[in-house]
């Protein structure tokens, strides 16, 4: 029986220190430093980000409505697909069976309305 050599644990490397940012002069005319330019860029990015968050994308609201309508349509189709024998309460199963075609039609109509809304949102 051959013996395997013991595994030797590697020594971890010492942690590197992060280099601290230094101020550099961009131009000799204005006397502005790199940190000034960075602050201006960060300020510009913050202002444009706040404009986007305030106005928000109109498609996000339409996608929320689209998702809700599709979910309601799928639930209606699911209730239409349930067999009356699976529902233990006759008070619930009899109307479901009687209005099964109406539930399916309303469910399909809801899904079509959601798709139409999504189409209008994408095109506008």
Is residue 70 a part of any domain in this protein? yes
Q: Look at the block and give the residue holding tokens 């639930």.
A: 75
Residue 77 contacts residue 104 (beta carbons within 8 Å): yes
**CA nearest to 121, candidates 53, 60, 56, 54:** 60
Does a structural domain hold residue 63? Answer: yes
Is the pLDDT assigned to residue 87 strictly greater than 50? yes
**Total domains in the fold of the chain:** 1
Q: What pLDDT does residue 54 have?
A: 46
**Contact indicator for 62, 121 with CB cutoff of 8 Å:** yes
Q: What is the pLDDT of residue 68?
A: 94
pLDDT digits (tens, 9 = 90+) for 96-105: 889 999 999 9
pLDDT of 13 > 70? The answer is: no
Q: What's the whole-number average pLDDT of the chain? A: 77
Domain carrying residue 71: 57-123
Residue 14 lies in a domain: no
pLDDT for the residue 113: 95
**pTM of the entire predicted model:** 0.52
Model pLDDT, residue 101: 93
Q: Residue 8 pLDDT > 80, yes or no?
A: no
Torsion sign over Cα 67, 72, 75, 76: negative
Higher per-residue confidence, 114 vs 11: 114
pLDDT digits 0-9 by tens, 35-82:
665 666 555 555 555 555 545 676 788 889 999 999 999 999 999 988
User: Does residue 19 fall inside a structural domain?
Assistant: no
Structural domain contains residue 42: no
Residue in the block written with tokens 């998702």: 67
Q: Is residue 64 part of a domain?
A: yes
């Amino acid at each position: 029986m051959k013996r395997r050599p013991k595994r030797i644990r590697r020594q971890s490397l010492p942690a590197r220190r992060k280099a601290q940012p230094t101020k550099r002069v961009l131009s000799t005319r204005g006397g502005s430093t790199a940190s000034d330019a960075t602050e201006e860029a960060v300020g510009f990015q913050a202002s444009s980000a706040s404009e986007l968050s305030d106005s928000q994308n109109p498609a996000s609201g339409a996608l929320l409505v689209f998702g809700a309508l599709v979910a309601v349509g799928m639930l209606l189709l699911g209730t239409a697909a349930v067999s009356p024998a699976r529902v233990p309460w006759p008070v619930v199963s009899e109307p479901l069976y009687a209005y099964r075609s109406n539930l399916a039609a309303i469910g399909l109509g809801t899904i079509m309305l959601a798709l139409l809304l999504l189409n209008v949102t994408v095109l506008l």
